Structure 1
Amino acid sequence: MPKLIVIVGITGVQGGSVASLFASSPEWTVRGITRNTSSPSAQSWLSKGVSLVTADLNEPSSLIAAFEGAYAIFSTTNFYEPFFNPGTQSLLKTGQSINQYCYEQELRQGKNIVDVAAKTKGLERFVVSALCDATKWSGGKYVGVYHFDSKAHTVNYVKNVYPELAAMMSVVQLGSYLSNWQGSLGMRKAEDGSIVLSVLKGTGTKPRPQINVPKDLGCIVRAALQAPPGKNILGASFCMSWAAQFKSWCEMNGLRYGGLYEITLEQFEKFIPVPGLGREIGEMMLFEGEFGYDGGDASVILPGDLSVDCPLTSWEEYVREENWSKVLGKLRWKLA
């Protein structure tokens, strides 16, 4: 009899990747959780044999029926959504930044998922999309990487409050999305016609974990479920530095590589015109450059360490398969 996997946030990129892979397997049935089952993005799953349940992560009671009968749950939460909601500003407490608000909301939603999952009869496996505790691993140097800490603190909550759920949990720390390259990432034409890439000072040469989420996350989650629980997995298709990656990208697109152009955090903030967001992403990159994406946590393993089949996308495959016309069309002459 097929096992049931319940996917939180099936209409998102992460949930969609997991759902696509598991819906194609006769060994599994898939139930997706979304706030609006009538939306086109949600309805598209019905033709693929996926059942849908309406639930709100801010309302734990709505998750009880959604999780019922699950053998496995894949849990993900969305830190960034409030940044793009004009109504968020009116919800902030006195002196509270939008980053702090997003941290509190994501942690609260994560705890709601955990509270209900811990009481779900018959649940055998719990896979959480998370990140490391940047404040902890940097020794308090980087305290503004809220989207890392909120997810890490959800994992801590499982371990501290629900040891039985922790025993069936595996964590996938997702690397940087490869789709970010479609945003051009501060590429510019230099006066000599070469292409340069703006990066934060000191971050250009250290390998960075990156993932083709739509294609590879489902494979990583499947591998996590095929392996014993208790794993702390770096969800990466590969690891590669900005310098090596950008040089390769230029060569594959027939462009002259001009190297990296180092900028300050204040300059980087201007790349992301959403208040508070540029600073947070910049601090994340500085943390990653100094302490590593996972903070140097010795418990972290790569998907290949699971000793199960887990095909992943290479950088060269990704570049060949993507359409780069929009990125190339945005290239300007002026350096950041």
Structure 2
Amino acid sequence: MAAEKKLLVVLAATGSQGSAIVNHFLEHEPSYRIRGTTRNVDSAKAKALSNKGIEMVSAELTDINSLIAAFQGASAIYAYTDSAGCAQAKEAIEAWESGKEKSLPDAARALEVSQGKNIADAAAQIPTLERMIWSSTPDSKALAGGEYDNYEMASKAEVLRYMRSTPALKGKVNAVYLAVFTESFVRFPVVIGWTKPTATNKKYLVRIPWNPASSMPWINLAQDAGSWVGALLKTDGDVTVEAVGGEMSTEDVVETMRRKLGVEIEIQQISLDEYSNVEPTGLMRHVGQLMRWTADLGIGREDPGAIKAEQFAKTHPGVKRSNIKESFESIDWSSML
């Protein structure tokens, strides 16, 4: 008689991060069955996952009871929060506009921490839970001072501390610091201050507040992230790991864009003030600080408790590290034009 499969619950399974984990486990981890959470089980993406054999259930990170229901019977949980989504959420915008929070980044941080604590409190009520993987970040402000104060990094780090201080989760929580996703610039051109040609300037512009020559850590999210999660599920709890496929400078990424698009692109290194002045909420300042941290210090380089990617990959041969240059070459950059 075949052994019963363990249950892995993947939060926000229709998102880019969640779907990367789901697809890896479908292809490479047959000992698990998968339940995915989503806001709308009738969406096209949810139905597509259902057609692959994924059990899709409705859950909201602001509704702890829906999380408890979604986690029932779980052996493992992959959990993450959407920092950009928190900044766009009605609750955060209302908290900022009403004066409850002094800025939109502060409101987004409060919402993200609340969501993360709901995940922890719900998971603590699941007696079958063996391991939870939290997609986290180092606490940039605590580790390196106010120069790198970023609401996303602060909120995820605070949630990790909360999870590991929850008695029912002791020894069960592993954290992964995912490097910058290789598809980030094409999905979010605003991150690199992407500016199209004008009547007076015939070049495309990249305007950034970090050193474009600095080597940055990257990961091919769709191809590789699931393998790191799979390895962490087999690792004793309370481990934090950097998940990095390789390094490449922004200059070299932009050179790839030039070749692929066949256009002239000029890089301008600007001040953080200039970078953040494109919108009034303060969010772009935090984006700039996050990218400066990554360019200056890597992902977990300043965190003495984080296992380096090379070290973890040596002891976990199943971890996949796609060639980063080839990953950038394979991207369809045409939407940037």
| TM band (smaller chain) | 0.7 to 0.9
Counterpart of 1:6 in structure 2 is 9
Residue by residue, what CA displacement relative to the aligned partner does 1:165-213 show, whole Å, maximum 9, x if unpaired? 241221011222222221453457899988764331x533332222222
Residue by residue, what CA displacement relative to the aligned partner does 1:247-288 show, whole Å, maximum 9, x if unpaired? 455456666786x421111222256x4732211101222333
Task: Tell me if 1:313 matches 2:316.
Answer: no
Distance 1:166 1:209, change over 3 A: farther
1:56 to 57, 60, 65: 60
TM-superposed deviation, 1:295 = 5.3
What SS does the aligned partner of 1:44 have?
A: helix
Structure 1 counterpart of 2:302, one-letter code: G
Residue by residue, what CA displacement relative to the aligned partner does 1:70-110 show, whole Å, maximum 9, x if unpaired? 11100011122143346743333526211111111111111
Structure 1 counterpart of 2:45, one-letter code: S
- Mapping of residues 1-336 of structure 1, within 5 Å: 1-24=4-27, 25-85=29-89, 88-92=92-96, 93-94=98-99, 96=101, 97-143=103-149, 145-162=150-167, 165-182=169-186, 183-184=188-189, 185-186=192-193, 197-200=206-209, 203-250=211-258, 260-270=267-277, 273=279, 275-294=281-300, 296-300=302-306, 301-302=308-309, 303-327=312-336, 329=337
Partner Cα separation in structure 2 for residue 186 and residue 115 of structure 1? 39
Partner Cα separation in structure 2 for residue 135 and residue 257 of structure 1? 33
Deviates more, 1:289-298 or 1:38-47: 289-298
Contact 1:219 1:311 in 2 (8 A): yes
TM-superposed deviation, 1:159 = 2.1
What runs of 5+ residues in structure 2 fail to find an aligned partner?
none
Structure 1 counterpart of 2:145, one-letter code: G
Structure 2 counterpart of 1:264, one-letter code: S
Give the number of aligned pairs: 323
Give the CA RMSD over aligned residues. Answer: 2.7
Distance 1:240 1:166, change over 3 A: farther
What SS does the aligned partner of 1:136 have?
A: helix
Contact 2:120 2:163 in 1 (8 A): yes
What SS does the aligned partner of 2:247 have?
A: strand
Contact 1:132 1:295 in 2 (8 A): no
Counterpart of 1:332 in structure 2 is none
TM-score, normalised on structure 2? 0.85
Distance 1:227 1:252, change over 3 A: farther
Counterpart of 1:334 in structure 2 is none
Partner Cα separation in structure 1 for residue 15 and residue 156 of structure 2? 17
Contact 1:224 1:306 in 2 (8 A): no
Residue by residue, what CA displacement relative to the aligned partner does 1:7-62 show, whole Å, maximum 9, x if unpaired? 11111111111111212342110001122212222121111111022222112122
Distance 1:85 1:56, change over 3 A: closer
Contact 1:206 1:241 in 2 (8 A): yes
Partner Cα separation in structure 1 for residue 26 and residue 240 of structure 2? 25
Structure 1 counterpart of 2:21, one-letter code: V
Contact 2:39 2:60 in 1 (8 A): yes
Partner Cα separation in structure 2 for residue 186 and residue 141 of structure 1? 20
TM-superposed deviation, 1:67 = 0.9
What SS does the aligned partner of 1:80 have?
A: helix
Residue by residue, what CA displacement relative to the aligned partner does 1:220-268 show, whole Å, maximum 9, x if unpaired? 211222333332111222222223433455456666786x421111222
Partner Cα separation in structure 2 for residue 257 and residue 94 of structure 1? 41
Structure 2 counterpart of 1:101, one-letter code: A
